[in-house]
A = this chain, B = another copy of it.
């Protein structure tokens, strides 16, 4: 769902991916890592969509929170598996959210 309760400034990690054909264990691991992310200090929310490519944007209070999550052991293991098995390509961007506008019917 859409995250619509945050007030800038905060940080966004834009993770854009193209998956391989063989996705053994991928969904299970992705769910586990998302659940683990939600328990981390500074986690603010997550948005995801996929068709040809996948885009997952996670939101964080500070850069230090993002670094802390990057260094989490289980997250690191999953990232290594991802490069070995699941991802054909990815791009990860760390951004500072400066302004935000929302609309709801």
Contacts and interface: CB of A to CB of B under 8 A. Distances in A.
Interface of A: 1-4, 8, 12, 14, 16-18, 20, 47-55, 57, 63, 83, 87-105
A103 B82 CA distance: 10
A37 to B, nearest CB: 17
5 contacts: A2-B16, A3-B91, A90-B103, A93-B97, A93-B99
Contacts of A49: 49-55
The 7 closest A-B pairs by CB, nearest first: A95-B95, A49-B49, A94-B99, A55-B55, A49-B55, A92-B101, A89-B104
Interface of A is mostly: strand
Contacts of A2: 16-18, 53, 89-91
A75 B89 CA distance: 32
Contacts of A95: 12, 95-98
